[in-house]
Chains A and B, each alone.
Chain A
Amino acid sequence: MKKTYKIDVDCANCANLMEEAAKATPGVADAVVSFMTLKMKVTFEEGADEAAVMADVLANCKKAEPDCEIYL
C-alpha cells in the first residue's frame, strides 16, 4: 500500500533527514521525500495501520527536524 502526503520543510537536507526518519519508522517499508514537489511517498508494510504509522512517522520526523510538517 502506497500513499502520498503533502509536507512542508525548508531545506533539501532537512527533507533528507525526514526521509531517513520516516524510513526508520516501524510499519514503513519505504519512504521517499521529494523536496521539489514537497511530497512524501510512503510504502506501508503489509497489514500496517496507516493512520497509526503515519502518526509515528510525523513524530519521528519532528524529532529529526523540528521545523517540518506532514499534512495527514
Chain B
Amino acid sequence: MTKKQKTLLYRILVAAVLFVPVYLISEGIVKADLPRWALFCLFLIPYLTVGYDILRKAALGIKNKKVFDECFLMTVATMGAIALGEYGEGVAVMLLYQVGELFQSVAVGKSRRSISALMDIRPDYANVETDDGSLEKVDPDEVEVGTVIVVQPGERIPIDGVVVAGSSALDTAALTGESRPLSISVDDTVLSGSIDMSGVLKVRTTAAFEESTASKILDLVENAAARKSKSETFISKFARIYTPIVCYAALALAVLPPLFLLLTGGSMAGVWRDWLLRACTFLVISCPCAVVISVPLSFFAGLGGASSRGILIKGSNYLETLSKVTTVAFDKTGTITKGNFEVTAVHHSPIEEAALLELAAHAECHSNHPISLSLQRAYGKSLDMNRVTDVEEISGHGITARVDGRTVAVGNERLMNRLGVEFLPCHHVGTVIHVAVDGAYAGHILIRDQLKEHAREAVAALHRLGVKRTVMLTGDRKAVAEQVAREVGITDFKAELLPQDKVAAVEELLSGGKGLAFVGDGINDAPVLSRADIGIAMGALGSDAAIEAADVVLMDDDPLKIAQAIGISRKCLRIVKENIYFALGVKAVCLLLSALGLANMWLAIGADVGVMILAVLNAIRCLFVKRI
C-alpha cells in the first residue's frame, strides 16, 4: 500500500470506531440521553475525518468550473441527508464510499504494479571492462556502439549485441513470453532485456541503448496509451453528460412531486423531507464510478496481460478491432513456414552442382533474404565479396550480378522470362531458383521451406474462434502455396504475388467486409501491415520497420499467438460489456426503487460500492491470460 492508501485506511478505521457507538446511541440500541445537537456534533467528527478530502475536491471542482463529478454527488447527498436529520445514514454513506475508493485504489495499484513489473526490462547499468581488468558500472546511455560489455549471471543484458566470449542460457520471457531458456554462445546475437541465467558473457554492442530492443519495447508500451478505444472515449464522454443529468434528475425528484402535491392540495406533512431524502438516495446510487473506473482498467489490464505473453498491442483501439476480426490473411514465409530454406536438389545443370551453387551464392551475397541465406549455407564456404560486381536486385524477380566477370542471373521464372532465357520447369514442390550464366540457362536449384511447429494448430485455433476466412498471400509458386495451404488447413490462397500485388490483394479482401487482420514477418510487409484493418507482425524482434507499421507485435514467432491475441481481445471486450451492462443495469433498477421511495440510503451505498467492487474485480480478470 502506498502512503496515501495507508492514510485513507487509518482515517476509515478511526472514523468507523468513532461512528459505531454514536450510531448505536442514535438508533436507541444503546441507551444514552443525548440532546440532538450533541449527537450532531458526535457524528460530525467521523464524517469530517473520513470525508474531508471529498468535500475539498467537490469545492475545488466548483471553483474550477468542473462541478459535476463523483465527489460533488457524494457531498450533496451526504450533506443533504445530514441536513434532513439522517445523521447516521449520511456518515455511513461517506464512510462506505471511502471504503470503496480505498479498495479500488489498492486493486488498481496492485494490478498496475504486477504489469509494470512484467514489463520492467529497462536495464540500469552496463558493465564495461576497464584497462586494469576490473569492471565499471556505467549508464547504458553512454555506451558507444562496438564497445565490449560484460554481463554477469543474473544480470539483464543492457544493450543489443553479439557474444564475443562465453556461453550461457538466456531467460527471454520478458521479451517473448517464452519461458524456455535460450542457450547461446560465441557469435550469437543477444537482445537487451533478456536475463543471463548461467555464464559470464562478453558482448560487443551492435546498437546504441536508445536503439536497443529493450528501449524500443518500453517505448511501444509507454505509447500504447495514446490510442484510445471507442468504449473508453464513449465512457469519458458518457460521464461528462451523465453526471449533470442525474443531478438535475435528483433536483427534479426533490422539487416536482411536492410541488405537484402542493398544487393539487394534498397533505403536505413530511412530504418535502421525504422527497429530498429520496433525491439524496438517488444521487448516491447514480454515482458512475463503477463504469468510469472499470472500463479503462479493463483495457489497461487487457493490454498488460497480453504483453506478459509477448503480445504487444499498440493501443486499446486495436484491442477492439482485434476482437472483431473475421478474416485473417497470412504471409507465408516467416509466418506459416520457418523461412528456414534448405537446398534439396540441383536439376538440369550443365555445370557441376557445387560450381553452380558457388555462382548463385556469390550473386546473392549482399542479400539477407531467407532464400539467399539458404544458398549461402548450401555453398558452405565463406564468400569472397571481391569477386562480385554490378549487383542489381529486381524486386519480385531476383538478382543479376557479375561474378568473376561472368553475368549471373538468379531468380524465379519471371526473371528468366524478363531476360529472355528459356528455362525448364521443375516438377517438384518447393521454391525453384533458376540460374542463368552469361545469358544461357544453367539449371535450377530446388529449395524447400519447413512448416512452423504450431502452424496447423494456429490455423485450427483461429477457425475455432470463429474466424471465417483464412487466406495465404505469397510470392511463391502456386504449387508450393497450394501444398502449404492444404497442410496447415488454410481455406484460401493467392500465389505468385509481387509485393505490390499483396497490397492489391489486401485491398480486395478489405472490400469484402470488415475485420481483416494481416499477419506478416514484417521484412517486406510494411505497406500491407499498415493497410489491413489490423496488422500483426510476428517474430518482430529486431525488425524496426515491422514494429513501426504493425498494430500488434508478436515478440516470438509462434503463430499460435495470433489466436491467443484475438482470444485476449475478445475476453477483454466481453468483460467491458459485462461491466457496463451490469453496473448500469443495477443502477437503473436501484434508481427506480429510490424514485419510488422503496430504497433507503443503506441500499443506495451498498449498490454503489458493491457494484464498483465487483466491476473492478471483473476488470482485473483481463490480466490473467492462460499460457499456451
Asked if B105 contacts A11 (CB within 8 A), the reply is: yes
Distance A43 CA – B584 CA, assembled complex (angstroms): 37
Q: Which residues of B contact A12 (CB under 8 A)?
A: 108, 293, 296-297, 299-300
Smallest CB–CB gap between A69 and chain B, Å?
Answer: 10
Q: Kindly report which residue of chain A lies nearest to residue B64, judged by CB atoms.
A: A63
A13/B296 in contact, CB under 8 A: yes
Q: Is the CB of B116 closer than 8 A to any CB of chain A?
A: yes
A71 to B463 CA separation, bound complex (whole angstroms): 49
Closest to B109 in A: A10
Q: When the two chains form their complex, are residues A66 and B60 in contact, meaning their CB atoms are under 8 A apart?
A: yes
B108: A residues at CB distance < 8 A: 10-12
Chain B nearest Cβ from A5, distance in angstroms: 12
Q: Contact: A35 with B60, CB < 8 Å?
A: no
Which residues of A26-40 are within 8 A (CB) of B?
32-39
Asked if A15 is at the interface of the complex by the 8 Å CB criterion, the answer is yes
CA distance A28 to B104 in the complex (A): 31
Task: Report whether B292 and A13 are in contact in the complex, using a CB–CB cutoff of 8 Å.
Answer: yes
**Are A11 and B297 in contact, CB atoms less than 8 angstroms apart?**
yes
- CB of A25 within 8 A of chain B? no
Contacts of A67 in B (CB 8 A): 57
Is A36's CB under 8 angstroms from B57's CB? no
Is A36 a contact partner of B105 (Cβ separation < 8 A)?
no
Are the C-beta atoms of B300 and A36 separated by less than 8 Å? yes
In the bound complex, CA of A60 to CA of B60 (Å): 12
**B226, A32: Cβ atoms closer than 8 Å:** yes
Residue B303 CB within 8 A of the other chain:
yes
Task: Check A66–B236 contact: CB distance below 8 A.
Answer: no
* Residue contact A16 to B300, C-beta cutoff 8 Å: no
Chain A residues positioned under 8 Å from B239 (CB to CB): 13
Contact B296 A36 (CB under 8 A): no
Asked if A36 and B115 make an inter-chain contact with CB atoms under 8 angstroms apart, the answer reads yes
Least distance between B125 CB and chain A CB atoms (Å): 19
B221 adjacent to chain A (CB < 8 Å): yes
Measured between beta carbons, the chain B residues less than 8 angstroms from A66 are: 56-57, 60-61
Identity of the chain A residue whose Cβ is nearest the Cβ of B56 in the assembled complex:
A66
Judged by a CB distance under 8 angstroms, whether B304 is at the interface is: yes
Contacts of B450 in A (CB 8 A): none
Residues of A within 8 A of B221 (CB): 34, 36-37
Distance of A10 Cα from B368 Cα, bound (Å): 48
CA distance A33 to B119 in the complex (A): 17
**Using Cβ atoms and an 8 Å threshold, which residues of chain A touch B547?**
none
B626 to chain A, nearest CB (A): 21
A64 to B108, CA, bound (A): 20
How many angstroms from the CA of A34 to the CA of B112 in the assembled complex? 11
Q: List, in ascending order, chain B residues with CB within 8 A of A34's CB.
A: 221-225
Cβ-based interface call for B377 (8 A): no
| B225 pairs with A33, CB closer than 8 A | yes
- Name the one of A11, A16, A33, A63 contacting B236, with C-beta atoms under 8 angstroms: A16
Closest CB in chain A relative to B260 CB, distance in Å: 38
B89 within 8 A of A: no
Contacts of A11 in B (CB 8 A): 104-105, 108, 293, 296-297
Pairwise interchain contact B105-A10, C-beta atoms closer than 8 A: yes
State whether the Cβ of B232 lies closer than 8 Å to any Cβ in chain A.
Answer: yes
Q: Min CB distance, A6 to chain B, in Å?
A: 12
| B477 touches A (CB below 8 Å) | no
Digit string of A36-61 for contact with B (CB within 8 Å is 1, else 0)? 11110100000000000000000000
Query: Is there a chain A Cβ closer than 8 Å to B11's Cβ?
Result: no
In the complex, the chain B residue whose C-beta lies closest to that of A32 is B226
Residues of A within 8 A of B304 (CB): 36
Q: What are the interface flags for B365-398 relative to A under an 8 Å C-beta threshold, 1 for contact and 0 otherwise?
A: 0000000000000000000000000000000000
B303 near A36 (CB under 8 angstroms)? yes
CB A24 to nearest CB in B, in angstroms, measures 13
Q: Does B110 contact A (CB under 8 A)?
A: no
Judge if B494 is at the interface, Cβ distance under 8 Å.
no
CA distance A36 to B225 in the complex (A): 9
Question: Does residue B66 face the partner (Cβ distance < 8 Å to A)?
Answer: yes
Residues in chain A near residue B296, CB distance under 8 A:
11-13, 15-16, 35
Kindly list chain B residues whose C-beta atoms are within 8 Å of the C-beta of A36. Answer: 112, 115-116, 119, 221-222, 224-225, 300, 303-304
B105-123 contacts to A (CB < 8 Å): 105, 108-109, 112, 115-116, 119
Q: Say yes or no for B228: interface residue by CB 8 A criterion.
A: yes
| Chain B proximity of A1: nearest CB distance (Å) | 16
Closest residue of chain A to B225 (Cβ to Cβ) is: A34
Residue of A nearest to B118 (CB): A36
The verdict on A19 contacting B105 (CB below 8 Å), with A12-B297, A36-B115 known, is: no
- Distance between Cα atoms of A45 and B225 in the complex (Å): 21
Q: CB-CB < 8 A to A33: which residues of B?
A: 225
For B222, give its contact among A15, A17, A32 (CB under 8 Å).
A32
Q: What is the CA–CA distance of A15 and B300 in the complex, to the nearest angstrom?
A: 11
What residue in chain A is nearest B304 (Cβ atoms)? A36
Task: Please name all residues of chain A whose beta carbon is closer than 8 Å to the beta carbon of B56 when the two chains form the complex.
Answer: 66
In the complex, per-residue mask of B212-232: 1 if CB is within 8 Å of any chain A CB, else 0: 000000100111111010001
Chain A min CB distance to B304 (Å): 6
Distance between Cα atoms of A10 and B293 in the complex (Å): 10
Contacts of B295 in A (CB 8 A): 13
Is B225 in contact with A32, judged by CB distance below 8 angstroms? yes
In the assembled complex, which residues on chain A have CB atoms less than 8 Å from the CB atom of B225?
A: 15, 19, 32-36
Chain A interface residues toward B at CB < 8 A: 4, 10-13, 15-17, 19-20, 32-39, 41, 63-64, 66-67
For the complex with contacts A13-B295, A34-B221, 19 further pairs of A-B residues with Cβ separation under 8 Å are A12-B293, A12-B300, A13-B235, A13-B239, A13-B292, A15-B225, A16-B228, A16-B232, A16-B296, A32-B223, A35-B112, A35-B225, A36-B221, A36-B303, A37-B119, A37-B218, A38-B116, A63-B60, A66-B60
State the 10 A-B residue pairs at the shortest beta-carbon distance, nearest first: A12-B296, A63-B64, A34-B225, A32-B226, A34-B222, A12-B300, A13-B296, A12-B297, A10-B105, A13-B292
A-B contact pairs, 16 of them (CB 8 A): A11-B293, A12-B108, A12-B299, A16-B236, A17-B236, A34-B225, A35-B225, A36-B112, A36-B116, A36-B119, A36-B300, A36-B304, A37-B222, A39-B222, A41-B222, A63-B66
B-side residues, CB < 8 A to A, are 4, 56-57, 60-61, 64, 66, 104-105, 108-109, 112, 115-116, 119, 218, 221-226, 228, 232, 235-236, 239, 292-293, 295-297, 299-300, 303-304
